[in-house]
Amino acid sequence: MMSWRLETADRAQIPVSFNPGSGSVVADLQELPSTVHSATWVAPPSYLGDKVSSYGGFLTYQVKSFGLPADMALLGKQPAVQLTVGTSPTRGTERAAAVGADSL
């Protein structure tokens, strides 16, 4: 997970940090300029290409809301993946989910 990057729509990098305790990559989006409306996680080369052997695995993510816009989208490229949650989480709450790799 250490090689994942987070970018804005114009490909500007957003700072991320690696949490060794949980093995996760963390980004704080609260301090971004108000002109930034989306961010994209970019997978490292080792995650790209034919990954049939990953079927049955999970892509797990967690979103913490602090009054941000109500919709959340998880997007990938080739194949395109989008997971949208249309309800606004209560301020300060957490939402976690996992997407089965066979669903991607």
> 37 versus 73: which is more confidently predicted?
37
User: From CA 93, how far away is CA 70, in angstroms rounded?
Assistant: 13
- Provide mean pLDDT across the span 2-7: 83
Q: Alpha-carbon Rg of the chain, whole angstroms? A: 14
pLDDT band at 22, cuts 50/70/90? confident
pLDDT digits (tens, 9 = 90+) for 42-58: 888 877 777 666 677 76
Mean pLDDT is highest, among 4-18, 33-47, 49-63, for 4-18
In a shared domain, residues 31 and 58:
no
In a shared domain, residues 60 and 98:
yes
In a shared domain, residues 36 and 66:
no
In a shared domain, residues 59 and 104:
yes
In the numeric block, which tokens belong to residue 73?
């989208």
Q: How many domains does the chain have?
A: 2
Domain span holding position 66: 54-104
